[in-house]
């Protein structure tokens, strides 16, 4: 076991190549994980085309080339560093790719997601030093990672389901910020997509009383509603909101959301829309909030919001952005999935061997929205 196969990107915009490289040795506080499944997010195709790299003038957000991508690896611990005390070889784990420096003020305050150098291993981030320290993404047969990044998986949670934890955790961290729970109503903008469906599954698990969701595809929306017709309701809406809709003269979505909540509006709203969706699609969701309602954004809308600060103040509206999740939040999800309160059985795993990585990236069929879980299995080459 001296060498392994990894899919490596040698130039942005070019296909990855399967290269044979040395298996890394874990440092004292790191582990070596044999990857059994790696989730592939549709956004990865944009990343390897350097869509996001071009947004920053010095290209400092992207990993040095050749790079090994792969955001959501799950597998088996193969080896542990000498200072790793509570994880043993053979344990099944998900590797949270969120890396932080470990010693800045935010890291020392136990807020690693707010580290200025925050970086996603196997993706991109804010620290070239961290990307060099952890250069192995999940599109590789083995990866090293800090022991503190491991989420232990119950036997009932498959590697394929765990490869979905990135989307799930992103939604989970957002819903914790909103306070989703019993008695609460939630609007999920983009409920049938990769992120939105996970938000719906978690909202059900967390006990939300009513979950409202928007989307464009009526058939997919019906499928989401059928997960729990007593608690989920959906509305197909066009991408662009009604022309000229305002707080005083709301979009039909707002009227629908108010009618579903005794006229109050929803307690919380989470936006899960992809890049390219218009700012107005968020704004009409904001107007669905009750007085004092909270909005958390995990979507990728890039347009500037036409936000009325006076409306926000007088209605006590809370706005927050959120990205990714802590390893502790990952442990929560693993526990919920293991107990069966978080039902991941609706996911359709589409597993491909590592040799097909370029084909997978070129042709991600999103017809079934968030129900499809794209997975690469690096043990199959
Ligand atoms: Zn830090």
Helices and strands counted in the chain (H then E):
12, 17
Q: Residue 145 C-alpha to ligand 1 middle, in angstroms?
A: 16
Q: Residue 170 C-alpha to ligand 1 middle, in angstroms?
A: 20
What tokens appear for 378 in the block?
């690096």
Are 274 and 299 a contacting pair, CB within 8 Å?
A: yes
Q: Residue 82 C-alpha to ligand 1 middle, in angstroms?
A: 24
Instruction: Return the pLDDT at 36.
Output: 98
Q: Residue 148 C-alpha to ligand 1 middle, in angstroms?
A: 14
Q: Residue 117 C-alpha to ligand 1 middle, in angstroms?
A: 6
Residues 6 or more apart whose CB falls under 8 angstroms from that of 2 comprise 22, 23
Q: What residue ranges of the chain have pLDDT lower than 50?
A: none
Q: Please identify every residue whose CB atom is under 5 Å from ligand 1, which is an ion.
A: 100-101, 104, 107, 115
Task: Using alpha carbons, select from 145, 125, 126, 149 the residue that is nearest to residue 137.
Answer: 145
The Cα 209–Cα 230 span in angstroms is 9
Q: Residue 23 C-alpha to ligand 1 middle, in angstroms?
A: 28
Q: Residue 354 C-alpha to ligand 1 middle, in angstroms?
A: 33
Q: Residue 108 C-alpha to ligand 1 middle, in angstroms?
A: 7
Q: Residue 60 C-alpha to ligand 1 middle, in angstroms?
A: 17
Q: Residue 11 C-alpha to ligand 1 middle, in angstroms?
A: 29
Q: How many CB atoms lie within 10 A of CB 340?
A: 12
Q: Residue 269 C-alpha to ligand 1 middle, in angstroms?
A: 30
Q: Residue 215 C-alpha to ligand 1 middle, in angstroms?
A: 37
Before 185, cis peptide (omega within 30)?
Answer: no
Task: Using alpha carbons, select from 135, 139, 40, 47 the residue that is nearest to residue 354.
Answer: 139
Q: Residue 120 C-alpha to ligand 1 middle, in angstroms?
A: 13
DSSP 15: P
Q: Which residues pair with 266 in a beta bridge?
A: 289
Task: Using alpha carbons, select from 306, 317, 213 the residue that is nearest to residue 256.
Answer: 213
Q: Residue 53 C-alpha to ligand 1 middle, in angstroms?
A: 22
Q: Residue 101 C-alpha to ligand 1 middle, in angstroms?
A: 4
Instruction: Return the pLDDT at 238.
Output: 79
Phi-psi region of 353 (alpha: psi -120 to 50; beta: other; left: phi over 0): beta
Host H or E run for residue 279: helix 279-286
Task: Using alpha carbons, select from 104, 102, 83 the residue that is nearest to residue 29.
Answer: 83
Q: Which residues pair with 22 in a beta bridge?
A: 3
Instruction: Return the pLDDT at 50.
Output: 78
User: Which pLDDT tens digit goes with each residue over 108-135?
Assistant: 999 999 999 999 999 999 999 999 999 9
DSSP 371: G
Q: Residue 81 C-alpha to ligand 1 middle, in angstroms?
A: 22
If you compute the radius of gyration of the chain from its CA atoms, what whole number of angstroms results?
A: 21
Instruction: Return the pLDDT at 241.
Output: 66
Q: How many CB atoms lie within 10 A of CB 230?
A: 8
User: Which pLDDT tens digit goes with each residue over 284-340?
Assistant: 999 999 999 999 999 999 999 999 999 999 999 999 999 999 999 999 999 999 999
Residues, the chain, total? 381
Q: Residue 377 C-alpha to ligand 1 middle, in angstroms?
A: 32
Residues 6 or more apart whose CB falls under 8 angstroms from that of 348 comprise 368, 371, 372, 373
């Amino acid at each position: 076991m001296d060498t392994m196969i990894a899919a490596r990107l040698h130039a942005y915009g070019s296909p990855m190549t399967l290269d044979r490289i040395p298996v890394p040795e874990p440092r004292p506080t790191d582990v070596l994980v044999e990857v059994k499944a790696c989730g592939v997010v549709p956004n990865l195709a944009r990343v390897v085309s350097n869509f996001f790299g071009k947004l920053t003038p010095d290209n400092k957000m992207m990993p040095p080339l050749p790079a090994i991508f792969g955001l959501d690896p799950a597998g088996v611990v193969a080896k542990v560093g000498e200072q790793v005390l509570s994880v043993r070889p053979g344990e099944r784990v998900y590797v949270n790719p969120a890396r932080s420096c470990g010693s800045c003020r935010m890291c020392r305050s136990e807020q690693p997601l707010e580290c200025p150098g925050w970086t996603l291993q196997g993706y991109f981030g804010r620290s070239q030093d961290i990307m060099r320290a952890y250069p192995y993404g999940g599109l590789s047969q083995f990866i090293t990672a800090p022991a503190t990044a491991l989420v232990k998986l119950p036997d009932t949670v498959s590697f394929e389901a765990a490869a979905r934890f990135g989307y799930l955790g992103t939604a989970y961290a957002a819903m914790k910020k909103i306070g989703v729970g019993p008695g609460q109503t939630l609007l999920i903008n983009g409920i049938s997509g990769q992120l939105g469906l996970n938000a719906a599954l978690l909202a059900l698990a967390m006990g939300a009383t009513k979950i409202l969701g928007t989307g464009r595809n009526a058939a997919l929306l019906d499928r989401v509603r059928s997960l729990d017709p007593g608690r989920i309701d959906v509305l197909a809406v066009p991408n662009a909101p009604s022309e000229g809709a305002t707080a005083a003269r709301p979009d039909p979505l707002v009227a629908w959301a108010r009618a579903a909540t005794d006229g109050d509006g929803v307690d919380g709203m989470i936006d899960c829309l992809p890049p390219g969706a218009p700012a107005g699609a968020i704004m009409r969701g904001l107007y669905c909030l009750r007085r004092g309602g909270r909005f958390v954004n995990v979507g990728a809308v890039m347009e500037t919001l036409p936000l009325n600060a006076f409306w926000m103040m007088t209605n006590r509206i809370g706005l927050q952005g959120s990205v990714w999740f802590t390893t502790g939040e990952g442990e929560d999800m693993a526990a919920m999935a293991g107990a069966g309160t978080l039902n991941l059985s609706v996911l359709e795993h589409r597993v491909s061997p590592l040799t097909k990585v370029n084909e997978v990236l070129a042709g991600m069929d999103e017809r079934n929205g968030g129900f499809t879980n794209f997975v690469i299995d690096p043990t199959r080459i």
